[in-house]
Amino acid sequence: MDYSPAEVSGDKSRLHGGFYILPSLFTVGTLLCGYYAVVSTLRAASILLTAGAGADLSRLAFDNASKAIGWAILLDGLDGRIARLTGATSDFGRELDSLADVITFGIAPALLALAWGIRPVEQAIGPIFGPHFQQAGWMVTFGFVICGAARLARFNIQTARPTSDRRYFVGLPIPGAAGVIAAVVHCRKYAIHDWNYGVVWLGTVALLGFLMVSRIRYPSFKSLDLRRRRPYAAIILIGVVIYAVWIYSEYTLLALAVAYMLSGPTLRIIARLRPHPPAPKEVHAG
């Protein structure tokens, strides 16, 4: 692509402004977790091909990939929060964060979903239906990546508008969709080899892709002010959740991920069922 001299000079002036180190370090950490998740997933897939379905090494590698995505979700939430608290937001940081999210929360969970819940089923159901299931798996997981990238592009456009409501996301955020995949793998660990579970898994990944590009609103928690005083019950609740994650991470993280995925449709149904005040009657003169 060709650029005019004015555009080149303008780009150089913006680049010379530099970027904020602290939020960008968290973004790089998110990207590192995504890279590690991809490597662990490829390692688990190769172990399944050579050592069979019951290999504990593949179980450990899949679990490590899901944990890496979980840590990436935490880092992704921290970099935005820190950038807003310190006033260190920049166009560079926003673009870097979006590129990191495509890899960490788009490609990495899609590859994990394919290697954990689709490829083993394909090998188990035989040569007749296996290729068809493989093609369906490729389409669904690639659709997940496309929907995640489209979700990020729409988010960047909406955040640039001054009239956007920061209390809600439009569509399931891509970290939330990736969190569901990672939480399911972390809870079960062993790869799926039953075609019934494989079909359910395909439907789940497809549903996550649909929710990302839907118009359903999800709470963003961006309006939550951490500097305000909170009741003691909130501190106790946070402590209980942290302890539950530490002791029973498999079930607690799965419950949290599924609850957030269902929060958007649930709030929409409640809003539709809630009675609305009647419209004022028109008064005609005469």
Provide the pLDDT for residue 124. 72
Q: Sorting pLDDT into bands at 50, 70 and 90, what band is 231? A: confident
Going by the DSSP 8-state scheme, the letter that residue 169 receives in this structure is E
* Helix runs in the chain, H state only: 5-16, 21-51, 56-86, 91-102, 108-117, 119-124, 130-159, 174-188, 195-213, 232-247, 249-273
Q: Are 122 and 134 in contact (CB under 8 A)?
A: yes
Instruction: Please compute the mean of the pLDDT values over residues 204-224 and round it to a whole number.
Output: 88
Fold adopted by 20-273: Four Helix Bundle (Hemerythrin (Met), subunit A) (1.20.120)
Least confident of 29-38, 98-107, 163-172, 214-223: 163-172
Give Rg (Cα) of the chain.
22
Provide the pLDDT for residue 4. 45
- Please say if the pLDDT value at position 126 is more than 90: no
Going by the DSSP 8-state scheme, the letter that residue 172 receives in this structure is -
- Please say if the pLDDT value at position 202 is more than 50: yes
Q: Sorting pLDDT into bands at 50, 70 and 90, what band is 2? A: very low
96-111 pLDDT, tens per residue?
888 999 999 999 999 9
Provide the pLDDT for residue 14. 44
Instruction: Please compute the mean of the pLDDT values over residues 159-188 and round it to a whole number.
Output: 85
Q: How many residues does the chain have?
A: 286
For the chain, give every domain's residue range. Answer: 20-273
Instruction: Please compute the mean of the pLDDT values over residues 232-245 and round it to a whole number.
Output: 84
42-52 pLDDT, tens per residue?
999 988 877 65
Q: Are 219 and 173 in contact (CB under 8 A)?
A: no
Least confident of 25-34, 136-145, 225-234: 225-234
Provide the pLDDT for residue 225. 59
Please name the residue that has the structure tokens 């079930």.
Answer: 251
CA distance 187 to 196: 18
Higher pLDDT, 261 or 233: 261
Whole-number average pLDDT of the chain: 82
Q: Sorting pLDDT into bands at 50, 70 and 90, what band is 274? A: confident
- H or E element at residue 168: strand 168-170
- H or E element at residue 218: strand 217-219
Instruction: Please compute the mean of the pLDDT values over residues 77-106 and round it to a whole number.
Output: 80
- Please say if the pLDDT value at position 24 is more than 70: yes
Instruction: Please compute the mean of the pLDDT values over residues 200-216 and round it to a whole number.
Output: 95
- Please say if the pLDDT value at position 5 is more than 50: no
Nearest Cα to 97, choosing from 177, 39, 152? 152
